[in-house]
């Protein structure tokens, strides 16, 4: 199975490493979670660097830097109905 082209807005399953986990010395996330691609930049060598943001139920520490996913979008993605 080939992977889809990484484009902003695409939701993927990814073992997101939270900052506090990295500070404790972990090198990878504890579990796969839905993440949204927010940036995909192709480097000169043809390699694409992708930046993702996790989808979570936890209220954001900085609300101004978060976006709530609309219920209809969550349903279309197959996510639960809790606020994210």
Q: How far is CA 50 from CA 20, 68, 83, in A?
A: 21, 21, 25
Q: What pLDDT score was predicted for residue 80?
A: 93
**Residue 18 contacts by C-beta under 8 Å, 6 or more apart in sequence?**
29, 54
**Mean pLDDT by groups of 10 residues along the chain of 84 residues:** 87 92 94 94 92 92 90 93 93
Q: What pLDDT score was predicted for residue 27?
A: 94
Across 1-84, where does the E strand assignment appear? 11-14, 33-42, 48-54
In a domain, 61, yes or no: yes
Q: What pLDDT score was predicted for residue 3?
A: 77
- The model carries a pTM of 0.81
Give the residues across from 53 on adjacent strands.
36
Number of domains making up the chain: 1
| Residue ranges making up the domain that contains 60 | 11-77
In a domain, 43, yes or no: yes
Give the residues across from 52 on adjacent strands.
37
In a domain, 40, yes or no: yes
In a domain, 32, yes or no: yes
Q: What pLDDT score was predicted for residue 44?
A: 87
In a domain, 45, yes or no: yes
In a domain, 5, yes or no: no
In a domain, 1, yes or no: no
In a domain, 3, yes or no: no
């Amino acid at each position: 199975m080939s992977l889809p082209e990484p484009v902003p807005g695409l939701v993927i399953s990814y073992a997101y490493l939270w900052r506090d986990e990295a500070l404790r010395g972990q090198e990878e996330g504890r579990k796969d979670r839905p993440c949204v691609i927010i940036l995909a930049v192709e480097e000169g060598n043809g390699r694409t660097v992708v930046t993702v943001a996790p989808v979570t139920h936890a209220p954001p520490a900085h609300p101004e830097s978060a976006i709530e996913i609309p219920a209809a979008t969550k349903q279309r993605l197959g996510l639960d109905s809790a606020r994210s």
